[in-house]
Each structure stands twice: as C-alpha cells, then as structure tokens.
Amino acid sequence: MQRLVRIVLLIVCFSGGACAGAQSTPRSDLRATPPPSLIVLVTVDQLTGIYLDRFGAQLHGGLARLARGGAWFSNAHHDHAITETAPGHATLLSGRFPRSTGIMANRIGVADPSAPLIGAPGSLGASPRRFQGTELFDWLTARDSRSRALSVSMKDRAAILPIGRSRTDVYWYDVSGRFTTSTYYRDTLPEWVQRFNARRLPQSFAGKSWTPLLPDSAYKEPDSVAFEMGGSNFTFPHFVGNDSAQAASAIRGTPWMDEITLAFALDGLRALSLGEGTRTDLLAVSLSATDLIGHGFGPDSKEMHDNILRLDKNLGVFFDSLFKLRDSSRVAITLSADHAVGTIPELAARTMKPGPARINAAALAARLRALVAAAGIDSTLVFLDQQVVVADRTALANRRAGLDSVLAAFAAQVRTLPGISRVDRFHDLIRGDTINDPIARRWSHQFPAQGNVELVITQTPYSIFGTITATHGSPYDYDSHVPIIFYGPWFRPGKYPEFVRTVDIAPTLAEIAGVKPSERLDGVVLRRALK
C-alpha cells in the first residue's frame, strides 16, 4: 500500500489536480430564498439507489420524508470506477472525481501514523493529508470565516473526507466504544464529546439482540441463507454479547450504530451552535451500519430489509429533533451514499450463466511477480494493487520495452481467468471512447492521465475480489447507483429520472448557499431541482 500511496502522490502533484469538466457558476440574480443557515449532508454508507423504491411502501420516517418532500434523483451515480467509501466520500462535497481529489481508493484514504488518535499514542491515526484541493466547507469559510462544520461517522474516512483539509470538528467511532479524533484536528477531546462518551451508550447494548422491527409477514426475504456471514450467525436474532466491550464493537454491524451516531451529531449541533447564526454552517453525518450489514448479509437479505426500516425510523427521529432545535425553513438537507453494492455472487449465479466468480487478488499478484522476475525487472517498481497495475515508468526509463511486454503478457493471462471481463492499458483506455463506453469513462475519472497506472482490471458483473460475502468497488451501475435527494425550501420537490452524478451535489449546494467553488469542478449545478 505504501508504494501505491507514494506513486499516486507523485501522480497528483505532477498532474496539478486539474480536471476537465463543466464549471458551475453561481447565478447572479438575487435569490428569493436566503442561503441556508445549516446544510446537512446525510451519507448512508452502501445505500443503493434501489432500496427507496423497494421498501418505499413500508417507509414512514426520515427516508420517506426526504423522498416524498424533496427533489429525488432516482438515477444518480458515482461516475468513477473504484466504488469504495474513501473515493465516494471525497467526491460528495468536493464536486470532483477521484482523479483530482487524490483519494483514488480506500487503500490510499486517510490512514496516517503521524496523526494518532487522541490519548492513544502509537495508534494508526488518520488525517486528510492525501486529499487534494477544496470542498464546500472551504468555499463557505472563504465567504464567511465564522462558518463552522461538524462531521461525524463510525468510520474515520467517512468523517474526514466530506470536510477536506480543514482542521475543524471531525469525529469518528473507536472500537473501544467512544467517539474520538486524531491529533491532526486537536490535542484533547472537547467537553461535549467527553460527556457523550461518559454516557457509555454503545456499552449499554450489552445483553441485547437485534430482532426484526415488524412481524415476519412484512418481510418477503428468507432469513436463513447460508451464504450470509460466511455461514455463521445468519438468522435473527443477532446477539451482541453480554460483555460491554464486546457489545461496543459488535453494535457496529447493527442499526444501533446509526442511532448512536445520530444522537452524537445532535449533541454536537447543540454544543457548537451550528445553524444558529446568519452564516451557513455544515453538518456532515455518515451512517455506516448499512455497509457492515450489506457486507455481512448482502443487499437482498432480511437483515438489510430490517436495517433500512430502522434507518428510516432513526432518521425520522433525527429530523424531528433537528427541526425542534432549528427553523426548518433555514435548513437544507442532502441524502446520498458513498457507493452502492452488488448482490452475493453465489446468489447471482442462480440466474446468470456463466455465473460470477470470486477473484483471488493474491494469485494475480503472484502471476505478475513471476513475469516481472522473468524479465529481470525490479519487482518493487511494478506491482498489482487489487485491480490496478502500477509501474514507476521514470525509474524504468531504460526498460520500457521489457515493461511493455510484461504488461502485455500479464493482461493476456488475466483475460482468460474466470470473473475477468477486460484488462485495459489505462493510457489507451482514456484516449478511447469514453462517451459510449461507460466503463472506460469511469476508469478515466479514477486516475490522473499523467499517472503511473498501467493496467486496470474490470471483473465480470457481480464477480468480486476476495471472500467477503458481498461487496462493492466495481464500475458497474449496481455499485455506482445511489440516491441523491435535496430537501428544503430551495428545491423543487419531485422524482427526477435523468442520469446525474454525485459530483453534481457540491456545486448545487454551493449555488443555494451563494458561494463560489474556488476551483474547477467536474460537477454541474442541478438547476432543474432548484426553485
């Protein structure tokens, strides 16, 4: 990973982080509605765009409120290839593709040993040091330095990346059962965070089991599917353990994690007086339980169905509380996700011929190493990182021919393997048809053109790298399709079926806030949704 980080950092520096793409320009006319005093971004980790339709009739809480009262883009996508948490979160409020944010994969996300967690020297910390450029919060503070932001999540990368590089209030959940942050942001936890942690809410779930919210007849999914959870603990009830430390860890895979994260966000809103002044503040909340539940049980499970019902309920309570604290006519809410998810490959195989495969990345890496060694090339200069082959072309300047034949041989071998759809030379692919070939387009948005990415491997639909029950990360629509809903008096309610992209969220929010992005964006203002 470190080598990929090093090489990718070089790529971003040399490419200057600039992107082609439409630039949003704020409207010059005076707006009838003043800018919001608070923008709330709710990101649900792994929330595919299909759940809102699938479970719509059973939703009566926060999801329903947004879908029925907001501008709901039902065909929205992350238009990049590696549909993972870190690139997705870095895109949502930057309005830029991973090729310019520098956050091109989870593996080059936020891990930072130089920024340990507070009170935990030596811990693997986290920071936005690899993030390049600006985000919505930078544009807000450029207009009014009093603007404040709070970002919270169970995951460090999901809390950090919606904010960019600002050293503000950014907190995430430590497996020990408390919310914390790293020394990149501050040296001590503020009192309100300490008070919240002292309540020991996560530990209070010890001895409890997650059971379905509704009677069994409300769920059409079978509960007992042995492919789930690697074949163990795949039926309700799901017990989190009697021990409080065990429960604090286990609740991450239950809807209770989101309930706790939302309660924490409301405490922070009050403590920081977000949304009280004439400025525009930002609250980013990323809810992670859906991702853990989806990885464990898959998107078509009874557990996921129940999780979405509970998410709807928890968001309903959150919005009711928020609107008791703040005037709803001054609050803009956006709901989206960092990526979606594919179904369990073994379940997809029942209706697909040939069925999807599980790809062994370690075996692919071994094939590449063998070819590199046979060509007499330094194996530290050419390597596979899951679905990408990276090479240090500068160091290999006098070995170009050897490198090219290794890459060609490796691509030819990999193309014959089960689960592989295509292997492309990245530089050929971005010069090719990125209009009619969505896979090429998504890869071209993933890495800078001047980079050291040599080959990109695309699996067949629903094939996955590794043994995890279900996952995401491919350039296919099932992984890229997420909801985008804008809610508040600035937006024209309705269901919008046109194709839009998650890079369009940030310029649209900048537009209603009346601030100007300070750099070129890939996204555009979704004017149709604006009043």
* Sites of contact with Zn ion (CB under 5 A): 291
Give the residue with the Cβ less far from Zn ion, 291 or 303.
291
Shortest Å, Cβ 441 to Zn ion: 23
Which of 271, 256, 264, 275 lies closest to 323 in space, CA to CA? Answer: 275
Nearest to 333 by CA among 482, 490, 480: 490
- Tell me how far, at minimum, the Cβ of 102 lies from Zn ion, in Å: 20
| Residue with Cβ nearer Zn ion (297 or 383) | 297
Q: What are phi and psi of 66, to 5 degrees?
A: -70, -45
Q: Which is nearer to Zn ion, 90 or 509 (CB)?
A: 90
CA distance 346 to 366: 26
CB nearer to Zn ion: pick between 158 and 457: 158
Residue nearest to Zn ion (CB): 291
CB of 253 to Zn ion, least distance (A): 12
- Nearer to Zn ion (CB atom), residue 138 or residue 291: 291
Q: Whole-number minimum distance, CB 85 to Zn ion, in Å?
A: 6
Q: How far is CA 228 from CA 249, 309, 420, 452, in A?
A: 20, 20, 24, 38
Q: Which is nearer to Zn ion, 46 or 183 (CB)?
A: 46
Closest CA to 305 of 195, 393, 225, 191: 225
Contact, 282 vs 39, CB < 8 A? yes
| 479: nearest Cα among 365, 338, 348, 363 | 338
Helix axes 289-297, 256-271, angle to 10 degrees: 170
Euclidean distance between CA atoms 16 and 308, whole angstroms: 41
We find the least distance from the C-beta atom of residue 43 to Zn ion, in angstroms, to be 12
Provide the β-strand partners of residue 170.
Answer: 151
3-state secondary structure of 153: strand
Name which of 291 and 511 has its Cβ closer to Zn ion.
Answer: 291
Shortest Å distance, C-beta 510 to Zn ion: 28
- HSE-CB of 294 using CA atoms within 13 angstroms: 21
CB of 290 to Zn ion, least distance (A): 9
Give the Cβ contact number of residue 151 at 10 Å: 30
| Shortest separation between residue 307's beta carbon and Zn ion, angstroms | 14
Whichever of 95 and 294 has its CB closer to Zn ion, that residue is: 294
Strand partners, 77: 481, 501
Q: Which is nearer to Zn ion, 228 or 267 (by Cβ)?
A: 228
CA-CA distance, 119 to 107, in Å (whole number)?
Answer: 25
Instruction: Report the nearest approach of Zn ion to the CB of residue 77 (Å).
Output: 17
Verify cis geometry, omega within 30 degrees of 0, for the bond prior to 354: yes
Report the residue number, 164 or 342, with the smaller CB distance to Zn ion.
342
DSSP code per residue over 221-289: S-S--TTGGGGSS-SS-EE--SSHHHHHHHGGGSTHHHHHHHHHHHHHHHHTTTT-SSS-EEEEEEE-H
Q: How far is the CB of 430 from Zn ion (least distance, A)?
A: 27
